[in-house]
Amino acid sequence: MILRETPLAGAYVVELEPALDERGHFARTFDSEQFAALGLDPRVAQTSTSFSARSGTLRGMHYQADPHGEAKLVRVTRGSVYDVIIDLRRESATFRGWFALELDASGSSSLYVPVGFAHGFQTLSDDAEVNYQMSYPYVPEAARGVRFDDPAFAIEWPAAPLGGRLLSERDRTFADFEF
């Protein structure tokens, strides 16, 4: 497993190093000691999955407010998504910066999202499934978000498919980010 830094401080792309043989392959997808050695939060308090039936579904940009902030390890197990993170840590040199990459079910990469980041994705295929390992349990009262099209971030999303983007009312109506 190789952890590659992204342009956003503390966020990493996790690339697998599969051991191949005639049966297929085997690879580590998480190693608490390797994460801790880089100063990343290795706790796993909860694991969740989301399923989106249609291409163009957009989920996000979500985070949990302190003291319930959560780090996430995001991996796609079916289909593909355009995965996006935003650094919301005011003291960070990369504050308000965003990073995106395509994750797909090949399983060759996942994304480590530090505490203090918003996370979301747009599905690039029908029947997309995303799994999350989170360092802190979900606390409904701490759930927050920023709008996917907030001009404070100017995220460059892929074109929506012919049917347009599918968003929840909650995700569509998050207020503009105040900084």
Residue 76 has pLDDT above 80, yes or no: yes
Catalytic residue among 12, 82, 132, 136: 132
Residues 6+ apart with CB under 8 A from 57: 122, 123, 128, 165, 166, 167
**Reported pTM:** 0.94
User: What is the set of domains in the chain, with CATH numbers?
Assistant: 2-18+27-149+159-172 (2.60.120.10)
pLDDT for the residue 106: 87
63 among known catalytic residues: no
119 among known catalytic residues: no
Q: How large a percentage of the chain has pLDDT more than 90?
A: 91
Residue 128 has pLDDT above 80, yes or no: yes
Catalytic residue among 62, 63, 112, 119: 62
Confidence of residue 179 (pLDDT cuts 50, 70, 90): confident
